[in-house]
Amino acid sequence: MSVALEKQDAALKDAAADQRSRRSGGREARRAMRAAPLADDIRPVRAGLEGGSYGPLKQNDQERIHEAVLTLLETVGFANAIPSCIEALTKAGAIYADDGRIRFPRGLVMDTIKKAARNFTLHGQDPRHDMLIQGKRVHYGTAGAAVHLVDVEKREYRESLVQDIYDAARLVEGLDNIHFFQRPMVPRDIPDPLEMDFNTLYACVMGTSKHVGTSFTVRENVQPALEMLYAIAGGEENFRARPFVSNSNCFVVPPMKFAEDACGVLEACVDGGIPILLLSAGQAGATAPAAIAGAVVQAVAEVLVGLVYVNAIKPGHPAIFGTWPFVSDLRTGAMSGGSAEQAVLTSACAQMAQFYDLPGGSAAGMTDSKLPDIQSGYEKGITDVMAGLAGLNLVYESAGMHASLLGFCLESLIIDNDMLGHCLRCVRGIEVTDEALSIDTITEVCMNGPGHYLGNEQTLRLMQTEYFYPAVGDRFSPKEWNEKGRPDILQRAIIEKKRVLAERFPRHVPKLLDDKLRARFGEMIKLPRSGMGG
Amino acid sequence: MSVALEKQDAALKDAAADQRSRRSGGREARRAMRAAPLADDIRPVRAGLEGGSYGPLKQNDQERIHEAVLTLLETVGFANAIPSCIEALTKAGAIYADDGRIRFPRGLVMDTIKKAARNFTLHGQDPRHDMLIQGKRVHYGTAGAAVHLVDVEKREYRESLVQDIYDAARLVEGLDNIHFFQRPMVPRDIPDPLEMDFNTLYACVMGTSKHVGTSFTVRENVQPALEMLYAIAGGEENFRARPFVSNSNCFVVPPMKFAEDACGVLEACVDGGIPILLLSAGQAGATAPAAIAGAVVQAVAEVLVGLVYVNAIKPGHPAIFGTWPFVSDLRTGAMSGGSAEQAVLTSACAQMAQFYDLPGGSAAGMTDSKLPDIQSGYEKGITDVMAGLAGLNLVYESAGMHASLLGFCLESLIIDNDMLGHCLRCVRGIEVTDEALSIDTITEVCMNGPGHYLGNEQTLRLMQTEYFYPAVGDRFSPKEWNEKGRPDILQRAIIEKKRVLAERFPRHVPKLLDDKLRARFGEMIKLPRSGMGG
């Protein structure tokens, strides 16, 4: 600060202190006021805020990408379709050729886009957590299949367990800026694929009443899961009316081949009433073109094939346009989830979903860093805020993830919730109304007022509704920080994690119902009662 | 990852290894290739990339802000003008009234905007660092007046010294993604204002050949500085032709009052040929309205007054539209530089500069966190990338800053250089050409090729020109990271800082010239030769 600014600053601090002592209660009262939860509709940030103020692709770029996609679907198509898939697709108008590839006429693709489900709700077990997936409404959530849990106290990676999934779900249950919970880790303590799929889902739906996403290894694993979900919903009809679980489905092995097992899962989920996240996870420079535009083209082409597939089986079944390309570090071929290229790639995918007016989901918030550090902060911040500003409907992987999806960290989940609050506040943008333009306020303060805005009616009013405050983020002055023993954000997150995990045992699934599930599935349920609050 | 994806991943790793062994030299050769510097015009990121793909304000919002600004300048105007300012402004058409305020008719403001300098260059001592300030071209740099240096090894704040300023300048000299160096700290070891101003500037211009920004406390301090600058330039005419220093000038005490000392400095700098950064540093909720739109209105009004002032003294003198409002944490009244509100506020200011087609500068990259940690990472990342995407010409404070401008950190400077590389890569955006759309590449790989893009000609070509690689950022796999002793980014930055500071003693100002300066200014120069490499 210049000397003039320093003087101004000192004067302001005096004025602020003065205001504080004059206003009834002062700083402590305002702190208490902040601690009280706000009504949902006046909170500074919330699920479903509208993005769209950023977009790396111009309209003409989007049209060219679309045109390239149609060309590829007509001429290259997909390999490795399973018989049921070939049957459904050819019946719908796709062409199965001698070279074993199935190709898609433009009319079929365009017709599918026109008729596909859009503007639908992804439900929570608790309707407060329902997400209307529409336009440029933004929701942040977890995802992934990390094989490690990051132990920040020991600074080491250990294998992830089913208890970790349940713990992550319980944390997410109380983190306002994480709107859905797709399973972020695989339970390495449950090697059997059927038991792994079943327990992953069980840990998720018992841990949180928010919308859950999960995977299945093979078609046969869907049935027991459906039985559990129908039971929790109080009947199949209830689940079909408000499906609170979606299936994250890697139906494609990029470039342009069907994943046979995943196709079986897809068919079973559509049949059972589970919404599908059509996930194309190519990696630019490895399984997708290194050119960012080309990676978008391939991802869009692949997901449109999935959309044709779902709609061929069941017209209008809810499906998420999951163009989800990753990025390679081209020096090594390894994935780089925290890269800048990832940020623009994901944002471009958000725009392509909007181009088709389809519900879009893609990945951001990944980082290459192994621990919650400054690198993970900026990599997560940049990718997550750009995805939100681009109006991506569902930002997967947005919290907790490290090491380019190989490690998940519970402390990061808590810190990232703050960061996502920042992102949402950025997505909310700037209100420009006569009142907000503040001509009268400025005039009054300058001409008749105290020369500052500290006690101004406008300031007090906007404090709660327009400004976002972090929960664990630190805004102390260096002096306060020093006096308080130089607190560390990671230490605060560790303490908060331990507090929540010791106290929060969600009971949205009543114990009686859980007893019934345990009676029905017996040994199949591996998460011990002791880990669920007894 | 699903099992299908895992299989795919394993197959890819095999293929990648295969490619590596087949291509001459393999991974090490590619690493060596990366280590060689690229020609400036094919580097993936560089100074002056064009932003503009993000903007929180719609066109109509900008027009309403402009209209509110004109109303305020007509009706409220400015208090506290010094006599020379009153004389210049009234001569230009402003109206000085009985209430001591000076008001600005619309015609005068619009005329000034029309005639003001735009599309000019901010020079470096080395022409390689010249910055053309135009349109939505983005440049990142430092700024500030921190009173502390952050000692990351001791985790403490100590008073900043003139040597720290010189060291920061030396580091910036070699950091490609930091394009200019405005003095980030005040030398607390030099209490006398004249000596402080002089030595601050001396430390900056001796430490880096990039464009420098600095402040002066009072008018009288400008003359000796000019004498030094003219000497370095090899004559007054040379400096006036290529001024490599600009004056960061807080001519306004918000709301809407002149800062008397700074006005004196402004007049002396205009007279001496130094470009002016017209800096309005209100703080929303304290010295500016809490409504974000209102804070923008006030900042624009204030800077336009500065523009009228500069152009009244010397028409067409280069001035930067420095709408630079900060944000309060309204719970305490303290500044929150890392807040989300700051990110949207700064981006809106970038748009208003573009609205007037004036060279814009504002602040981003500040953080409330005291140390380089995950919070500082996401706060810096979010604010810096949004400022860049908004096409802000000069992003001040973008690197090294902590504790809402109270602490500066040399290690963060090094890490932030990586982060700004990410930001610039995001600003660069996505190239959509026939080649980039990759129809042929995808077709070839799927129909006739190996089924992946690892060895593809396109991949190898784009590796160096389209992908940004961090210098200290970590992309190891958890396994490699573990084998390498779990390296920490902060440790890497500490080592790099020490290496550079031990080795780099810039000599763009020849020793002979420095001898002359020391002979001329004698005791006035406080930075010892020993701290400058002897």
If you measure CA to CA, which chain B residue comes closest to A143? B1
Instruction: Please give the domain boundaries of chain B with CATH numbers for all domains.
Output: 49-58+86-428 (3.20.20.480)
**Residue among B4, B56, B404 minimizing CB distance to A259:** B4
Q: What are phi and psi of B339, to 5 degrees?
A: -70, 160
Report the alpha-carbon distance of residue A405 to residue B372 in Å, rounded. 23
Predicted pLDDT of residue B436: 98
**Which parts of chain B register pLDDT below 50?**
1-7, 20-26, 29-30
- Chain A residues inside the 8 Å CB shell of B97: none
Reading the block at residue A522, the tokens are 């017996």
Q: What integer pLDDT is reported at residue A13 of this predicted model?
A: 55
Which residues of chain A neighbour B262 with C-beta distances below 8 Å?
Answer: 2, 4
Neighbours of A203 (CB within 10 A): 31
Contact flag A374-B370 (C-beta cutoff 8 Å): no
Whether residue B368 and residue A489 make contact (CB cut-off 8 A), yes or no, is no
Q: pLDDT-based confidence at A50, cuts 50/70/90?
A: very high
Task: Annotate B79-110 with three-state secondary structure.
Answer: ECCCHHHHHHHHHHCCEECCCCCEECCHHHHH
CA-nearest of A229, A211, A138, A213 to A173 is A211
| pLDDT tens sequence across B125-148 | 999 999 999 999 999 999 999 999
d(CA A196, CA A216): 9
The arithmetic mean of pLDDT across residues A302-324, rounded, is 98
Distance from CA of B471 to the nearest CA of A (A): 12
Residues 6+ apart with CB under 8 A from B364: B342, B343, B346, B383, B384, B386, B387, B392, B395, B396, B397, B398
pLDDT at site A20: 46
Beta bridge partners of A159: A148
Chain A: give the shortest CA distance to residue B183, in Å.
Answer: 11
Q: Could you tell me the pTM of the whole model?
A: 0.94
Which of B3, B336, B373 minimises the CB distance to A489? B373
Higher pLDDT, A522 or A19: A522
| DSSP structure string for A69-136 | HHHHHHHT-BB---HHHHHHHHHHT-EE-TTS-EE--HHHHHHHHHHS--SEEEPPSSGGG-EEE-TT
- Whose tokens are 């890697």? That residue is A250
Q: What angle do CA B58, B62, B63 make, to 5 degrees?
A: 115
Nearest to B474 among A369, A423, A431 (CB): A369
The Cα–Cα gap between A85 and A94 comes to 11
B379 vs A379: CB contact, 8 Å cut-off? no
Which position has the token pair 């400036």? B40
The 10s digit of each residue's pLDDT in A211-228 is 999 999 999 999 999 999
Interval A110-145: pLDDT, tens: 999 999 999 999 999 999 999 999 999 999 999 999
Under an 8 A CB cutoff, do B459 and A336 touch? no
How remote is the C-alpha of B379 from its chain's centroid? 16
**A-chain residue closest to B8, CA distance:** A253
Asked if pLDDT for residue A476 goes beyond 50, the answer is: yes
Per CB-CB distance under 8 Å, the chain A contacts of B54 are: 53-55, 389
* pLDDT tens by residue, A164-195: 999 999 999 999 999 999 999 999 999 999 99
- pLDDT tens per residue, range B67-98: 999 999 999 999 999 999 999 999 999 999 99
Q: Would you call A217 and B2 a contact, using CB atoms and an 8 Å cutoff?
A: yes
Whether A292 and B430 lie within 8 Å, measured CB to CB: yes
> Residues with Cβ < 8 Å from B191, sequence gap 6 or more?
none
Can you read off the two tokens belonging to residue A315? Answer: 């017209």
User: CA of A63: which chain B residue's CA is closest?
Assistant: B432
Shortest Cα distance, chain B CAs vs residue A300, angstroms = 12
Instruction: Determine the Cα–Cα distance for residues A482 and B156; give it in Å rounded to an integer.
Output: 8
Q: How far is the C-alpha of A464 from the C-alpha of A455, rounded, in Å?
A: 14
Which residue in B has a C-alpha nearest to residue A3's C-alpha?
A: B217
A107 CB-side CA count, 13 A:
4
The DSSP letter of residue A404 is G
Model pLDDT, residue B14: 56
- The shortest C-alpha distance from B433 to chain A (Å) reads 8
Asked whether the beta carbons of residue A439 and residue B298 sit closer than 8 angstroms, the reply is: no
pLDDT (average), residues A227-248 = 98
| Helices H / strands E in chain A, number of each | 20, 21
Which among A170, A161, A248 is positioned nearest to A209, based on CA atoms?
Answer: A170
A28 — pLDDT class (breaks 50, 70, 90)? low
Distance, CA of B360 to CA of B102 (rounded, Å)? 25
Cβ distance of A72 and B380 shorter than 8 Å = no
Classify A465 as helix, strand or coil: helix
At which residue do the structure tokens 């367990």 appear? A161
- Tracing tokens 């080795």 back to the chain, one arrives at B503
Dump pLDDT digits (tens) for A61-79. Answer: 999 999 999 999 999 999 9
For residue A79, give the amino acid letter.
Answer: A
Residue A325 in tokens: 């390309």
- Summarised one tens digit per residue, pLDDT across range B384-425 is 999 999 999 999 999 999 999 999 999 999 999 999 999 999
Cβ atoms of residues B178 and B142 within 8 Å: yes
The percent of residues in chain A predicted with pLDDT above 90, rounded, is: 90
Number of CB pairs, chain A paired with chain B, less than 8 A apart: 499
Q: Which long-range contacts (CB under 8 A, 24 or more apart) does A441-446 make?
A: A441/B289, A441/B291, A441/B294, A442/B72, A442/B76, A442/B255, A442/B256, A442/B289, A442/B294, A442/B297, A442/B298, A443/B72, A443/B75, A443/B76, A445/B255, A446/B76, A446/B79, A446/B255, A446/B256
Taking only the tens place, the pLDDT of each residue in A485-497 is: 999 999 999 999 9
Tell me how far apart the alpha carbons of residues A309 and A302 are, in angstroms, rounded to a whole number: 11
Average pLDDT across chain A, whole number = 94
The distance of Cα A434 from the centroid of its chain, to the nearest Å, equals 35
**Whether B54 and A389 lie within 8 Å, measured CB to CB:** yes
Q: Does A422 have pLDDT greater than 80?
A: yes
CB-CB under 8 Å, A71 with B287: no
Interchain proximity A5–B281, CB inside 8 Å: yes
Question: For residue A288, what is the DSSP state?
Answer: B
Per-residue confidence band for A12, with pLDDT thresholds at 50, 70 and 90: low
pLDDT digits (tens, 9 = 90+) for A338-389: 999 999 999 999 999 999 999 999 999 999 999 999 999 999 999 999 999 9
pLDDT of residue A464: 87
CB contact under 8 A, B289 and A474: no
Q: In the beta sheet, which residues pair with residue A335?
A: A328
| Chain A environment of B441 (Cβ under 8 Å) | 289, 291, 294
